[in-house]
Structure 1
Amino acid sequence: MGRRSPGSGFARRLLIAQSAVVVAGALTAAGIAAAIAPGLFHKHLIEAGVANIPMGVEHADRAFRSALVLSLGVALLVAVLLSIGVAWYFTRRIQQSIASVASTTADMAEGRLDTRVGPSGLGADFDRLGESINVLGERLAATDGVRRRLMSDLAHEMRTPVATITAQVEAIEDGVREPDARTLQAIRAAAGRLHRLAADLGAVSTADEELALTAELVPVRQVVDDAVTLALPRSRDSRVTLDVGDVDDVAVEVDLDRVGQIIGVLLDNSLRHTPAGGTVRIGATAADGGVDVVVADTGEGIAAGDLQHVFDRFFRGDSARSTATGGSGIGLTIARSLAHAHGGTLSAASDGRGRGARFTLRLPVAARRVSVPGRVAAHVGEHR
């Protein structure tokens, strides 16, 4: 059974409606002409002085009525046929356009996201409709690609820790290995990685939702200092210099924990991708009614083609590197959502692979100013 052409019912009704309007107009014109024209003609005969010739007037009236009916009937019939023909033509064009849109959306619903609507030729409004459908298809295809990559990434992320736990447990069951501290530590590390992945999945599910923030007026110096304090142990373990640059004495009205989470993600990301002996530097500068908190490193850098994707969910420019370090590719996504929730922005820049990366968190400056004595300065240059 063939697929019924979408829009055919609408096209038929539209053609019938247009034809009815044309026929009604023709009948109305004929009725009005028949009611008015003979009387006017007879009046002109009287004014012309032929009323005293009864047979002449009667003959003239009959001749006029006959000519009127014949000429008006033929004219109206031709006009009706032409109007219906034009209405049929445009109705077919509209039907084809609607059928194309309906067919394309049906294909998209069935999973064929590469189908597109062609030009309608019916004007800007129909073309905009087709363009909107095509944009929808592109976004659905992109979303589907993200979903597929997400499933692949999740499987990849879970495979190694699950395999580690399974291997260790089987080794203990077979008597090959004793449940000593080293074995338990391996199991605990794999389980911790799974726990981090589960926590990230829970966080990313609400990353784009409106967050409830508890804003307070704090100096940027305090925000930076708290984040650096938490990151210092990691920098020592990684043997990476954590350097604090200039921090302007300005205040921001933010949720201290959430902004600390953003900067913590940036510092953790830079420390993870900076080799031993490298440097991670943080500073804050007031500019254009806001404050830029910049985290820059001398690490692996970001390829030009990856810069636009670094904040995408589960994006990893180097899967092997992310697997080795335990990153899930969600932290930067959450950090950007938190920045937007504060009315700020988060951006990334890099000169390329091996040339380091720079992340800039911009936050609006509060109207009031507060200051805290220089606590951050004590951490400048602390590392390893």
Structure 2
Amino acid sequence: MLKLFPQSLGFWSVTLFLTTVALLGATSVNALWMMESLGRQSRTAAQNAATLTEQAQRLQERTLTMERSARQFLILNDTSFRDRYMDAWKEAQQALRAVKANSGLHQPVFNEWLDTSETAGAVLARSFDEAGKQQRFLFAQLAHLRELNDEIAQDVRVGIANRNDSFLHELDRQRTLLMWQLIAVGGIAVVLIVAWHLGFARPLRRVVDAIHQLGENRLADPVVIAGPGDLRQLGVQLDWLRRRLLSSDEEKTRVLHHVSHELKTPLAALREGVALLDEGIIGPLEPRQREITGILQQNVLTLQARIEDLLRYQTIAWQARRLTRVAVDVREVLENTVEDQKLQWQARNLEVSITGPNAVITADGEKLAMVVGNLLSNAIRFSPEGGTVALSCMQADGSTIIECADDGPGIPAAEAARIFEPFYRGGGQPAVASPGHGIGLSIVRELVEAHGGIVELVAAGPGARFRITLPDESH
């Protein structure tokens, strides 16, 4: 593919466009030329047929005039009728030559007509008495001219019919030729479309997939794009970006671990020092001093928990970018998660229900279980004693929807926009809820978005209802 399309996408796009336009233009010009040629042939044939018909009719009229003039001359002995015969004979000869020229026929009938008319003319050219003696012969020659006229008229009609047949045959031939040209152009167009798909559509789709891959932070797989030179160069740049992002992630993880290690060392010393003070190693503490050491000890433990939460959140966020996608049954994930947390919700005397059919999607089963586990854990913490938690799944519009609802106090509207932020803990939590660290819902959002889905709060009291929408086919 790299060798077939070394030029740029723009070059090949323009080339394919101009090729298609040239093919369509050539076909159109050829079709117009065919129509013009057939039109000229049709007009010529029509004019020729009209001329032949007119000249054949004129030949018959002049022959009838010749016969009438000959009879009148023989009866009245008036030379003007003989002159009229000669004039009609000349005009008949002109009509005969026109018929012969326009019909393209070279039959003996034309020569026979000329010989017969000359013979009759020679009889009339004699004296009245001599012509009268050959009257029967003369009338026989003139009658033969009428027969020859009928034969010529018949030949003209046959010639016109043959020309019409030839024109129709040529019309059929040109129509067949044009049809095959259109089929050839259509075939070439299909080849060009296939070439575009193989040479350009696939690389462009690979560019989209590569951008989606980087957006999901799946940085382990290299980006390789075949096709035109500029798309290959874009692939090189995207792979460079992938390596930069991978290096940045690794550097960020190293910095975070180093910082946490640097914090843990003095934090451990501080915790030990506060413990020694609290135990009275350096002497008994007064009540006020013991209260202060208690505050210090509590804050040291809180700080340690925050550092551990930060590391945990960073680890999970990093893992979210490296999903192992397989076929996962969402209903089965819900059932396994409920079973794993059975002791927690039974200790609170809660009722947990699961509704919905089996729904198989392409996802990371371990990460999806972590999402459902965090939502269920939150619902258990905030649900009142003896309350209910409802889990459900369904498929609609090409997506799989997971919902988790409880009948706890719900989430205030003022806090709904921030509940997915890391380390955010809303105020006004009920006494039954054990203190959290504010990373559960942020982890849910990280993992859901890594799958190309969305998570949202669809009801904020009484009770809370979270909805996760996942595409059935993840890319």
Is the shorter-chain TM-score for this pair beyond 0.5, marking a shared fold? no
Length-normalised TM-score, structure 1: 0.44
Length-normalised TM-score, structure 2: 0.36
Q: Which has the larger radius of gyration?
A: 2
Structure with higher helix content: 2
Q: Which has the higher contact order (CA 8 A, sep 6+)?
A: 1
